[in-house]
Amino acid sequence: MIINKLKISLALVISLVLVLAVFGAWSVQSVLAAAGDVTWEGAETVDLSSPDMNLTIALGSTAESIIYNTGTVVPTLASGDVFTISTAAAGTIAVSPTTGVVITCNSSTIDTAVITATGSQAYTITPTTTACSYLAPSGGGGGYIDTTPPTNTSISINNGDLSVTSTTVTLTLGATGASNVMLSNDSSFTSGAWVSYTTPKTWTLSGSDGLKTVYAKFKDSSGNVSTAISDTITLGATTTTGGLTTTTTTTTDTTGTTSTTTLGAYSGLLKKGSSGTNVSKMQEVLLDLGYNLGSWGADGSFGGMTVTAIKAYQTSKSLTADGIVGPATWASLQTSSGTTTPATTTTDTTASTSGYVFSGSTPLKVGSKGTEVTELQTLLNGVSLGCGTADGVFGTKTSSCVKAFQILKNLTADGIVGSATRAELNKL
């Protein structure tokens, strides 16, 4: 008599379940262990609970054994076994290891994995409810489709220094799975080019003294590109006196510079986020007077570079350097437009008056502890941001406090004290 192996296997499973149930040893796993290859004589639906979704094992799939967990399916295949599994609805499948694995996404965003074993191997199949990315057919052979960009990306200028006196700096880069990197002094990556990913790299900062930002994004061999990241550093002379760090930034207007742009009558407050003709006219005056607006120029959009230029102009005219164009600043710009501006040199000197210099290179974030965290909490409490007890432990309350400070300083509000936030703290 010929006995079907699959029926024997199912009988073994039923017996095993009964024994485990009696002794209270039944777990969240459901196990099917065959005395030889199992062949699926029909499609099987696998109901997972975390995530709450269904998978379908295809007719004709073979495996030595299979384990069903709450969120994964783990078949063990012998050499020559072919196992096919797909999401029952839109979703994504990941398989580890990837050897012998072909994953495809159809136009209905159903993800299907076909595993062809070349030796005895257990494969962990992990699905998610995120719809897969459908790629239109373009010919050629199959294979594992990599859609994950480089991860764990990082960039540090001069090992986290707050300031530098030379435009030549060293960038320390980090990325997992990257083959190329693109660097730029502006967020649009103007004139940027992909180069081989190596670290460290020598880089040249652009423009005159002031706060500088360097941007980086990474690409892997499959062409997946990461989200752009950045780091900042202040370009200008730095001295240390009595335990306080002082950064001096000097801006010089060109002698004999003439603005040929004429401003009309004041028609309302202009600030970061404003746009329109009055903004572009104001920017034209600033450019005529020698102020740097980066690659944006007079684009009619009041952004960060325009704020910096307005602050420098206001300082040169003994106005309140708030980066906002009100009646007084507009009237001054009106006076400057259509005239020759004499050479002026302005010096913006900032120092930490708290008696403590935030000079470390390691970012402070949730989980950080020590003296620098205590000083951070004390300083922010002193400007009424309410960090609570200065206990030297960086918790969620301190993170919220740092985010509030970053918003006030027009920084990225991520609650992490990096080089840009340290620079602003040292100005208090």
Q: What is the pLDDT of residues 27-46, one digit of tens each?
A: 334 444 443 478 888 889 99
**b/e 74-85 (16+ beta carbons within 10 angstroms → b):** bbbbeeebebbb
Long-range Cβ contact pairs of 68-74 (< 8 A, separation 24 or more): 68/29, 68/30, 68/31, 68/32, 69/28, 69/29, 70/28, 71/126, 71/127, 72/48, 72/124, 72/125, 72/126, 73/46, 73/48, 73/125, 74/122, 74/123, 74/124, 74/125
pLDDT, residue 144, reads 54
Q: How far apart are CA 308 and CA 313, in angstroms?
A: 9
- Does the pLDDT of residue 139 top 60, yes or no? no
- More confident: 204 or 239: 204
Residue 181: what pLDDT?
95
Q: What pLDDT score was predicted for residue 291?
A: 79
What is the Cα–Cα distance from 163 to 319, expressed in whole angstroms?
Answer: 26
Q: What is the pLDDT of residue 6?
A: 41
pLDDT band at 383 (very low <50, low <70, confident <90, very high): low
Q: What is the pLDDT of residue 9?
A: 47
Q: Percent of the chain beyond pLDDT 90?
A: 23
Angle between helix 304-316 and helix 327-336 axes, rounded to 10 deg = 80
Rounded to whole angstroms, the Cα distance separating 60 from 30 reads 21
Tokens 């208090």 — which residue?
Answer: 428
Read off the pLDDT of each residue in 148-177 and give the average, rounded to a whole number.
87
Give the pLDDT confidence score for residue 124 in this predicted structure. Answer: 94
pLDDT of 338 reads 60
User: What residue type is 373 in one-letter code?
Assistant: V
Q: Mean pLDDT lowest for which of 229-238, 304-313, 388-397?
A: 229-238
- In this prediction, residue 19 has a pLDDT band, given cuts at 50, 70 and 90, of very low
Length of the chain counted residue by residue: 428
Mean pLDDT of the region 7-11: 45
Buried b (16+ CB within 10 A) or exposed e, 17-56: eeeeeeeeeeeeeebbebeebbebeeeeebebeeeebebb
pLDDT at 311 over 60: yes
The predicted structure's pLDDT at residue 263: 81
- Most confident option among 198-202, 275-279, 339-343: 198-202
Looking at per-residue confidence, does 53 or 427 come out higher? 53
Answer with the residue of higher pLDDT: 160 or 79: 79
Question: Which sequence spans correspond to the domains of the chain?
Answer: 6-13+33-128, 151-235, 274-337, 368-426
Instruction: Determine what percent of the chain is predicted with pLDDT higher than 70.
Output: 77
Which of the four pLDDT bands, split at 50, 70 and 90, describes residue 15? low
Taking each helix axis from N to C terminus, what angle separates 277-288 and 304-316, rounded to the nearest 10 degrees? Answer: 60
Query: To which residue do tokens 């499609």 refer?
Result: 43
CA atoms within 13 A on the CB side of 180: 12
The answer as to CATH 3.40.50 being correct for domain 368-426 is no
**Distance set, CA 281 to CA 12, 270, 333 (Å):** 83, 12, 10
pLDDT average, residue stretch 384-402: 80
At residue 319 the predicted structure's pLDDT band, cuts being 50, 70 and 90, is: confident
Q: Do domains 151-235 and 274-337 have the same CATH topology?
A: no
Residue 273, classified by CB atoms within 10 Å of its CB into exposed (0-12), middle (13-18) or buried (19+), is: exposed
Q: How confident is the model at residue 198 (pLDDT cuts 50, 70, 90)?
A: very high
Question: pLDDT digits over 225-284, tens only?
Answer: 999 998 888 787 444 333 334 444 444 443 344 566 778 888 888 888 888 888 988 888
CATH homologous superfamily of domain 274-337?
Answer: PGBD-like superfamily/PGBD (1.10.101.10)
Least confident of 4-8, 198-202, 290-294, 359-363: 4-8
CA triple 226-272-186, angle to 5 deg = 35
For the 151-235 domain, the top CATH level (class) is: mainly beta
Q: What is the 3-state secondary structure (H, E, C) of the chain?
A: CCCCHHHHHHHHHHHHHHHHHHCCCCCCCEEEEEEEEEECCCCEEEEEECCEEEEEECCCCEEEEEEECCCCEEEEECCCCEEEEEECCCCEEEEECCCCEEEEECCCCCEEEEEECCCCEECEEEEECCCCCCCCCCCCCCCCCCCCCCEEEEEEEHHHCCEECCCEEEEEEEEECCCEEEEECCCCCCCCCCEECCCCEEEECCCCCEEEEEEEEEECCCCCECCCEEEEEEECEEEEECCEEEEEEEEECCCCEEECCCCCCCCCCECCCCECHHHHHHHHHHHHCCCCCCCCCCCCECCHHHHHHHHHHHHHCCCCCCCCECHHHHHHHHHHECCEECCCEEEEEEECCCCCCCCCCCCECCCCECHHHHHHHHHHHHCCCCCCCCCCECCHHHHHHHHHHHHHCCCCCCCCECHHHHHHHCCC
Q: Say which amino acid occupies 135.
A: L
**At residue 4, does pLDDT exceed 60?**
no
Least confident interval from 257-261, 288-292, 331-335: 257-261
Report the candidate in 63, 61, 106 with the shortest Cα–Cα distance to residue 85: 61
Mean pLDDT value across the chain: 77
Tell me the mean pLDDT in the region 208-219: 86
| Backbone angles phi and psi of 350, in degrees to 5 | -125, 140
Is residue 362's pLDDT more than 90?
no
